């Protein structure tokens, strides 16, 4: 086990999900103190400090961030990873489907960042927003999800410009098809069609995204305001 992040404190939203759990494991492997924010309790917690909160609930998020600072004394890294889908063709998309996805995926990232930003500035921290390739390219039946992930990219680029002078780095990662519970719900036909469009002919692993996150935090010290695509050569 390395100790390159020893003494650092990271917050990861959606810590119990496929990508979130892999990110937590990578940060723990570097002796980072990891705080995971989940909407419900994670029965297979792998060693992080869990807080239960809805990222859309600003009052609760502020309470959690205050508790983290009181308990650990600092926040150095924020990973906005919490995300949901409500896929359907636009004609069928309800207002509730739109609001739900935008509020969790985009407004949730705003809420966490707003609550953490003073600590991140104080500690010259890093913010990594987990976007998606559909935030760059769009996708049929995902107008709400694509809009939320595209919004995260604009959010990332704006904050990178605003806080670069404070030595806070802000980066977006845009994964393609990754082996998570979200992609497991796809039909075999859709999976097969997706594989035909991926140059490497396989879905990515959550650990591959997590290793990219770790690289950007530890070694990518001159990278900010960028969108890093990790999609195996996906043609959309």
Catalytic positions, written as ranges: 145
Pair of tokens at residue 139: 């996708």
Helices 143-163 & 95-102 angle (0-180, nearest 10): 30
Give the Cα-Cα-Cα angle 112, 118, 124 (nearest 5 degrees).
105
Q: Cα–Cα distance between 67 and 72 in angstroms, integer?
A: 8
- In degrees and rounded to multiples of 5, residue 51 shows phi and psi of -125, 135
Strands (E), the chain: 9-13, 33-38, 49-52, 77-80, 126-130, 169-175, 227-230
Give the bridge partners for 52, in sequence order: 38
Secondary structure (DSSP) of 194-211:
HHHTBTTSS-B-HHHHHH
């Amino acid at each position: 086990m390395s100790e390159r992040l020893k003494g650092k404190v990271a917050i990861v939203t959606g810590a119990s999900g496929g990508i979130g759990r892999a990110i937590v494991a990578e940060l723990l492997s570097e002796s980072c103190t990891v705080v995971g924010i989940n909407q419900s309790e994670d029965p297979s917690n792998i060693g992080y400090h869990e807080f239960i909160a809805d990222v859309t609930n600003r009052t609760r998020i502020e309470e959690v961030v205050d508790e983290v600072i009181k308990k650990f004394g600092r926040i150095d890294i924020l990973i906005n990873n919490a995300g949901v889908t409500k896929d359907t063709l636009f004609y069928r998309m309800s207002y509730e489907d739109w609001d739900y996805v935008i509020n969790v995926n985009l407004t949730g990232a705003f809420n966490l960042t707003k609550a953490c930003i003073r600590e991140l500035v104080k500690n010259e921290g890093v913010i990594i927003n987990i976007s998606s390739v559909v935030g760059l390219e769009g996708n049929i039946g995902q107008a709400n999800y694509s809009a939320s992930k595209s919004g995260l990219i604009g959010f990332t680029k704006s904050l990178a410009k605003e806080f670069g002078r404070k030595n806070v780095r802000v980066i977006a990662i845009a994964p393609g098809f990754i082996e998570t519970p979200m992609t497991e719900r796809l039909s075999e036909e859709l999976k097969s069609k997706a594989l035909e469009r991926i140059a490497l002919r396989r879905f990515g692993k959550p650990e591959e995204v997590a290793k990219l996150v770790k690289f950007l935090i530890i070694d990518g010290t001159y990278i900010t305001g960028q969108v890093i695509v990790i999609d195996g050569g996906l043609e959309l």
